[in-house]
Amino acid sequence: MIFRRIKWLYQRMKYGASDYDIFDFDHYLTTLISYGLKKILDSSGFGSHIHGDDDCSKMRKIYEDIIFTFETERKSIEMDVMLPEQGQKYDDFVTEYKRIDEYKPTKEEIAFWNKNDFKFCDILISKEDYKRYLRGWKYFKQYFECFWT
């Protein structure tokens, strides 16, 4: 086991990610991007020239929305919050969830889920947070080349 940890450390240093990270790559990226953007946000000169914004308030808000998006995505991966499927309208998502929520599993299904350590999420993202989540993706794409200190 110690050999693997050393190998993963070496891979991270050389390539930026290890075999261990690639196994759950979406989770790794959401963690890495939100952490990196927080570090840039805490620095003194993050891309404020884009809006000609001397106090950086507009760019700060944009960074905060992008960070929120990646933290929400990580929560979704960890089954701590439910998001609509890509392209699904929020109201359709809520309606579908309510139908699923009315389903009553059998004792056998519950035993199987518990035995196999399945985790179910019953926390839906709010409509306001979902709009912010989508806005963060839009900003991530729009300002991708501006992530520097």
Tell me the pLDDT tens digit for each residue of 68-116: 999 999 999 888 888 998 888 998 888 887 776 666 767 887 777 777 6
Q: Pick from 33, 15, 70, 139: which is nearest to 7 by CA? A: 15
Percent of the chain predicted with pLDDT > 70: 83
pLDDT of residue 74: 94
Q: What is the pLDDT of residue 71?
A: 96
Q: What's the first-to-final CA gap in the chain, in angstroms?
A: 37
Q: Where are the domains of the chain?
A: 24-146
Alpha helices in 47-89 (DSSP H): 57-77
The C-alpha atoms of residue 93 and residue 125 are separated, in whole angstroms, by 10
Mean of per-residue pLDDT scores for the chain = 83
Tell me the average pLDDT across 42-50.
Answer: 64
pTM: 0.78
Question: What share of residues in the chain are helix, strand, coil (percent, to 5)?
Answer: 70, 0, 30
Q: Look at residues 129, 112, 140, 108 and name the one whose alpha carbon lies nearest to residue 29.
A: 140
